[in-house]
């Protein structure tokens, strides 16, 4: 899909990967609306049905949806104080998986009403999974489960929406220089970067945005979860 002139929604667009994607799409001429709890163009809790319906319904029908909203708290299933609170697990799944599905279902419904373009294409949806979906570490049970759900959602959604010319993809990033990681002491950041085979550094949000661009522009990419991790394979801890 040609990006210039298209309407796009980027969730989690107030910072980190989402902000980089929004900048990239705007530079390429897209009409971008960022959606976030803070820092975005529109305030929205993507995990809330009412919030998402209000926001998606108030905007022009998008050709592009990029789901970047997410949270990543670390907690063991059984810690020193006993088993993890069920509410803590549910909150991560609610934001990362249900929030992604919520925006996907609403934006896809809007996309079906758009005129078909080249190859019959009407829209593209790119969601954010994680390498934790495949190699979740100790303390990442909720996060890994939620991102595994995003990965598993991709193919059936792509198959269902094929009749409408809507492609669905997911990117599984490794360790990136997002606000959560850059808040660590510099020596911790350096150690994380050195653990990545090549390039021997943290991923830059611009690396993620570049892959999103390729996903949108390459009409033959569909139904795939793409790792973006510098050949990193996570250790148990």
Q: Edge-to-edge strands of the sheet including 225-228? A: 42-43, 31-36, 7-11, 64-67, 123-128, 166-173, 225-228
User: Do residues 77 and 71 lie in contact, with contact meaning Cβ atoms separated by under 8 Å?
Assistant: no
Query: What is the enclosing helix (H) or strand (E) of 22?
Result: helix 16-27
Active site residue 143: yes
> For residue 113, how many other CB atoms are within 10 A of its CB?
9
Of the candidates 31, 131, 23, 20, the residue with the CA atom closest to the CA atom of residue 72 = 131
**Nearest C-alpha neighbor of 16 from the set 4, 34, 3:** 34
Coil, strand, or helix at residue 68?
coil
According to DSSP, the β-strands at 78-79 and 82-83 are antiparallel
Asked if 200 contacts 193 with a C-beta cutoff of 8 angstroms, the reply is: yes
Annotated catalytic residue, options 89, 101, 143, 176: 143
- C-alpha 42/C-alpha 32 separation (Å) is 11
Where in the sequence numbering do the catalytic residues fall? 143
């Amino acid at each position: 899909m040609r990006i210039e002139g298209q309407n796009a929604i980027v969730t989690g667009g107030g910072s980190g990967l989402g902000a980089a994607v929004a900048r990239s799409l705007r530079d390429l001429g897209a009409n971008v609306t960022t959606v976030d709890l803070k820092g975005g163009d529109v305030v929205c809790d993507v995990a809330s049905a009412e919030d998402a319906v209000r926001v998606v319904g108030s905007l022009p029908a998008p050709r592009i949806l990029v789901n970047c909203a997410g949270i990543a708290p670390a907690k063991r299933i059984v810690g020193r104080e006993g088993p993890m609170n069920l509410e803590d697990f549910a909150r991560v799944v609610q934001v990362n998986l249900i929030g992604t599905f919520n925006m996907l279902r609403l934006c896809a419904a809007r996309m079906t009403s758009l005129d078909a373009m080249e190859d019959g294409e009407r829209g593209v949806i790119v969601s954010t999974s994680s390498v934790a979906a495949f190699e979740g570490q100790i303390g990442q049970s909720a996060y890994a489960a939620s991102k595994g759900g995003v990965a598993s959602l991709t193919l059936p959604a792509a198959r269902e929406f094929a009749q409408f010319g809507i492609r669905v993809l997911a990117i599984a990033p490794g360790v990136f220089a997002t606000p959560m990681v850059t808040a660590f002491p510099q020596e911790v950041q350096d150690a994380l970067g050195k653990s990545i085979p090549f390039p021997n550094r943290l991923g830059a949000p611009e690396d993620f945005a570049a892959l999103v661009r390729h996903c949108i522009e390459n009409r033959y990419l569909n139904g795939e979860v793409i790792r973006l991790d510098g050949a990193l394979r996570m250790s148990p801890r």
